[in-house]
Amino acid sequence: MEIVKELWGKTGCGKEIFRYTLTNSKGASVQLSNIGAGIVSVIVPDKDGRLADVVLGYPVPESYFGDGPCAGKVPGRYANRIALGKFTLDGKEYELPVNNGPNHLHGGPDGFQNKVWDSRENEGGVEFMYYAEDGEMGYPGALKAVARYEWSEDNELRLTLTAESDAPTIVNLTNHAYFNLNGEGNGDILGHVLRLNASEYLPTDETLIPEGESQPVAGTPMDFVTEKPVGRDINEDFPALKYGKGYDNCWVIDGAEPGQIQSAAVLYAPESGRTLEVLTTQPGVQVYTGNWLAGCPEGKCGRSYNDYEGVAIECQNFPDAPNKADYPSPVLRPGEVYEQAIIFAFGVRE
């Protein structure tokens, strides 16, 4: 495995922005950046062996700061939404900045995704570390977060996310990469075929906050237990699809067990033959079909992406879990280690 580190730019205050390229012996590669511990590109072969970049992103580092899509990055301290920007922990209520309608999203406007992380090459992988101060974006506890990426000879990108805190806090980390298995800039993903290892999903209110218990997907447009094109039911008259202008919901992964790697999703592009299986230790998978990509910064393809040109498959804890006692607990206490894994396994189907 070859790993090349390069200086990609500097922030206005002089922080160095690095880009790492990991290339295996077959010529397939991944590029990573220390802006939000992000995935910048994944270049993998199609069914005919032709290489293409299947991750949406930008050609210049400046575009990754404050972008609406959160392209490729690790949002935090809490990925996804917290209702009304409020939660109670150990009897104390905390208020967080509201940045998505009435709710708090992805750790707030100055979340982890908009920070320059420390970075290093270590033991065949690349590690990014961010230290969040106590009270940053309203969260309690000083938190150290580490994102470690490894790229294999079999075109598997493994992401391990760990965190420790010096006081009780909440944490939920994921990666927010958008995939287009025909290659970024090559049209929409509505013809991609998706299968989810999930027979239940979390219905939400119109602001995309889960209303409580999970519901069966059977008989609804949310059913991906048997693979189907992403766009087949996307325009159905169904609350979840109306609220989000497409899919933007969390599914409950069947058979999820803490610490156990489980298949969450399989994505397939018939045109290119490329496949992506996403495996994780997390209990949920948020699927977002890029419903609001239009107006984002200019992409690597030389233009701004349009809606539905990429799909994010975000393995994580459930949205608003800090306010839902029956959801998996997002609480991290001193002496504990938050640890989750996500594997993006790329292949081809003839």
Catalytic residues: 176, 314
**Confidence class of residue 116 from pLDDT cuts 50, 70 and 90?**
very high
- Distance CA(303)–CA(249), nearest Å, equals 28
pLDDT in tens, 184-228: 999 999 999 999 999 999 999 999 999 989 999 999 999 999 999
The domain in which residue 262 lies consists of 2-348
Query: For position 322, what pLDDT does the model report?
Result: 98
DSSP three-state, residue 197: coil
Query: For position 212, what pLDDT does the model report?
Result: 86
DSSP three-state, residue 181: coil
The mean pLDDT value of the chain amounts to 97
Query: For position 32, what pLDDT does the model report?
Result: 98
Give the total number of structural domains in the chain.
1
- Distance CA(127)–CA(257), nearest Å, equals 26
CATH number of the structural domain spanning residue 228: 2.70.98.10
Query: For position 350, what pLDDT does the model report?
Result: 81
Give me the mean pLDDT over the 303-311 stretch. 98
* C-alpha atoms less than 13 angstroms from C-alpha of 33 in its C-beta half-sphere: 31
DSSP three-state, residue 138: helix
pTM for the model stands at 0.98
Query: For position 149, what pLDDT does the model report?
Result: 98
Share of the chain above pLDDT 70, in %: 100
Residue identified by tokens 């290119």 is 272
pLDDT in tens, 3-12: 999 999 999 9
- Distance CA(350)–CA(95), nearest Å, equals 51
